[in-house]
A and B are shown apart, each in its own frame.
Chain A
Amino acid sequence: MVVVLSGVIVSLVGVLLGAWWIPFLAGAGIALVVGRPLIAIPAGAAVGLVSWLLPLAGIQVRYGLGATASSLAAIMGFDHRGAVPVILALLVGALLGVTGAWLAGAALTLARPSPR
């Protein structure tokens, strides 16, 4: 849990500073520390999701997200369906965490000495 929490904090700070790709590294870091992909991959997803979700929630609280989400949907050709860019954003965050954890976990597994 500490590892996950640390990952969230690191990712969140990175995202807030504009380094939106940090969840990928955080996911990888979790996989390297935890060492068990079955745990690391969901944890990476959670870290990515939360680190992108919290700033969005902040925008919602401060300014409201509806008009912006609706505009982004219109720009993307989704006819003002504001849920689409929100879901897409959260998906990107989660995928960054997942793929970071999966890639690092897979590399770690291969690098580990084989059981005899």
Chain B
Amino acid sequence: MTTAPAVEERPAFGTGVARQPRRPIRGFVNLAASALVSGAVLYVAFFPAGPLPALGPSFNPATGAWTMAADAQITDRTLPLAGLEQPVRVVLEPNGTAHVTAQTDHDLFLATGYVHARFRLFQMDLMRRQGAGRLSEIVGKVAVPTDTFELQLGLLRTAQAEWNALPAGDPSRLGLIAYAQGVNDRIAEAESMHQLDAMFTLLGYRPQPWTPIDSLLIKGDMTQTLNFTDTPLVMALLNKSLGADLTSEWFPVLPANQQSPYDTGPYNKAAPTPIAPVVTSSLVTDAAAQSVAAVYDRLAALPAGLLARGGESNNWAVAGAKSASGGALLAGDPHLHLTLPAIWFQLTMDSPGYHAAGVSIPGTPVILIGHNQHIAWSLTDAQNQQTFFYLEKEDASHPGMYSWNGAWKAYTTVAYDVPVLGGATQHVTVKLSVHGPVISERGQTTSVWWAGNVPSQDLGVLLRVGQASNWSEFRAALRDWYSPTHNFVYADDVGNIGLISAGYYPQVAKGQPWLPMPGTGESDVVGTIPYDDIPQAYNPPDHIIWSANQREVTADYPYYIGTASNFFDPGYRADEIHRVLSQPGKLTASDMAALQTDTRDFLASEIAPVLLKSLDGVKLNATETAAVDLLRSWDYRMDADSPGATIWAYFWGWYVGETFDPWWKSRAVHIDMGEVYDALGQDLEAWTLHDPGNRAFSAPGVGSRTAVDAQRTAFHRVIADLAKQLGSNPKSWTWGRVHTRVLENLAQIAGLNYGPRPDRGDAYTPLAARGLRSTEGPSWRMVVDWGSRTFQGVYPGGQSENPSSSWYTNRVDTWWKGSLDPMLSADDATGGSGVKTWSLHP
């Protein structure tokens, strides 16, 4: 930049005529330069440029992202809230737990909406956008595939249908309306005070008003995460590539290994229908395989969390008869993707008609897991099959139609516009058959029937659960819970315990539901297992009850509920929980907390001794000998300082690979083995223990082998690999060197993650931590002792989504250590040191 030429008088060395043009030229150049620089500065100030947000509104110190600093301050307040009928008190504990006390149910839900939005508005907006297919509007074309898929799948249509089905005057309808009002009160307040979450400012948009449908969309997000699965596609591709024979053998309906179901019968069904073997012939045509592969690839490309990928949740209860306190005990730790902010918000909701304490999902007006004055409950995913794929029969002479029950039917269509930040609006047309949305038209048209698309008034159910005071009312409330199917564990204040796996268990007229089925009508879903016949147990004779995503019933159960592969957990956590709970003696709340952080790998306790026996007499080098010594003294616990844990974890992976890799290669299997790792592991466990000569060990190219041979080869290789990675001294191969856990920021901002930090556990320990960089785990831990009426809980993260708030990560350390915080009542919390109170009034 130069300023001189515009004003400086220069000596003339020519005529006046010659002098005059120089000045305007320099002036124009100066003006052009200043305009150019000003334009550039104003452009980056007003508009986003590359990774940078619009700098002006973002960094404006009065109304930009700096307002996070003010937002992080929590003070005593008295404020009016539009829509309130009576005054409401909100007590905030020093750790952020909120206690909302209202004089009417309407005010309770309204104030809950306000409190949720005060601390989690951006998270709520992100979640409703995900369900409604509106992420592209704020993040650009990168989200178009996700939005398109969501609109096809139909969370928005389902939420609208659920809302339309709620009659006027229904308590959950009224609750949703009041809740939305509370959220909108906060949006109005935040906008007027320039305190919208910084992410709104940085992304350059403002939240739209909240509607009840948004709450239902968030419920839909959770349903999708927990039970929309691609397993039938995986099975079809395995069938096509691995072969029908091996697929039937290796991926059976009933698990190959011994498990610990909680409902052991007797079962109700007059004439049990035998469960057929999975596949006996090659049923998948080339066209079907092409379509299936296209859908599979498409689903595989979606962001993590949109598909159910198995569960790692635990819950259990101990009856008063086996409890040291004399009252029933209950423990629950649902495992989910661990995010910052967390999926949970802890609060107590008190009104004349509703009292519950526990955790809620921001965006929804109810406690999902918690307790009231008489009962406590928690849940795990039941894992039964709720997703069914149909191959529609089409014909060139009937364009836009499909054959169903002998007649040609036209697809119905729904059109959506998807606004895209920085791009043209995308137009998405969704085709629907009687089965559900069409999700692929490559090869053969494939549609999907998903129980999550069946309107399910889950919020109303949860309201009634929160109001229940005994098993009968609890069970009656859950009768209307359809999806996602959950194992609801129960314990009450008079010593009773129960567990019911509430939800839809779709049954097809005929066919093989673990594969894509013909859409011509004969294999349609015709109903669900009657409520009285679904897995459940109440006050079992051994006084304990547990679930950990395992198959809930024995092989005698007369209904199909899903295959062993990828629907249900392999069962090792359930085995370990059962092992601990069934030991003699009385149990305490401390025992419950200890079991939640149990790192004993049940599978290792079965297989490691077999491995050591297989290595007897084998010539080992010094490193291998040292590794064997470590394994011999190992307690099967996946602790961060344990080298035995590392040797075991790596060995098991190599053993699986040693057994199955040759098959995968020789048959060019399209499926990533990691996706069926647990299913293959169940087989390998069963063969190692009971069938070491199984033909699986003698894959093409490796010759005739047994389990012992495969173990020896895997062991030699894994020790060489570990020595290369971690050095030649096995004592230094601690699990924490290779195994970490991270809490990921919800907006995928790596700088706002917590960790990665070395951590304990693996996929098969009650304290689960799958993978070497684990991003999932116990999203909430709760322990209830009705004998002493003590309630404890903690989740990783904090109540605020504001990263500059002390409540962003303030609970992580407690959670990481395995400790719990007391769940106080509003009265207990009031008046404590550091407590803040909000007085809300009409």
Contact = CB atoms under 8 A, between A and B. Distances in A.
A31 to B, nearest CB: 10
A37 B3 CA distance: 6
Contacts of A52: 60-61
B720 interface: no
A88 interface: yes
Interface stretch (B34-42, B212-220, B584-592): B34-42
Contact of A110 (B3, B28, B62, B750): B28
Contacts of A59: 61, 66, 69-70
A77 B60 contact: no
B27 A20 contact: no
A16 to B, nearest CB: 5
Given A63-B73, A80-B751, A92-B59, A106 B30 contact: yes
Contacts of A65: 66, 69
B41 A71 contact: no
Interface string B345-384: 0000000000000000000000000000000000000000
Interface residues of A, number: 51
A17 interface: yes
Interface in A42-98: 52, 55-56, 58-59, 62-65, 67-68, 70-80, 85, 88-89, 92, 95-96
Interface in B25-66: 27-28, 30-31, 33-35, 37-38, 41-42, 45-46, 51-52, 55-57, 59-66
Which of A18, A21, A72, A105 has the most chain B CB atoms closer than 10 A to its own CB? Answer: A72
B73 A20 contact: no
Nearest to A18: B63
B6 A106 contact: yes
Interface string A100-114: 101101110110001
A96 to B, nearest CB: 7
B804 interface: yes
B749 A96 contact: no
Nearest to B37: A99
A55 B59 contact: no
A26 interface: no
A72 B61 CA distance: 12
B6 to A, nearest CB: 4
A3 to B, nearest CB: 17
Interface string B705-749: 000000000000000000000000000000000000000000001
25 contacts: A15-B60, A18-B63, A20-B57, A20-B63, A37-B3, A38-B4, A55-B62, A63-B73, A71-B803, A72-B198, A73-B751, A75-B202, A80-B751, A89-B66, A92-B45, A92-B55, A100-B38, A102-B3, A102-B38, A105-B34, A106-B31, A106-B34, A109-B6, A110-B24, A114-B23
Interface of B: 1, 3-4, 6-7, 9, 16, 20, 23-24, 27-28, 30-31, 33-35, 37-38, 41-42, 45-46, 51-52, 55-57, 59-66, 68-70, 72-73, 194, 198, 202, 749-752, 802-805
Given A37-B3, A68-B65, 17 more contacts: A20-B64, A21-B45, A21-B46, A24-B42, A38-B7, A62-B70, A63-B69, A67-B69, A74-B752, A75-B752, A77-B751, A92-B55, A103-B34, A105-B34, A110-B6, A110-B31, A115-B9
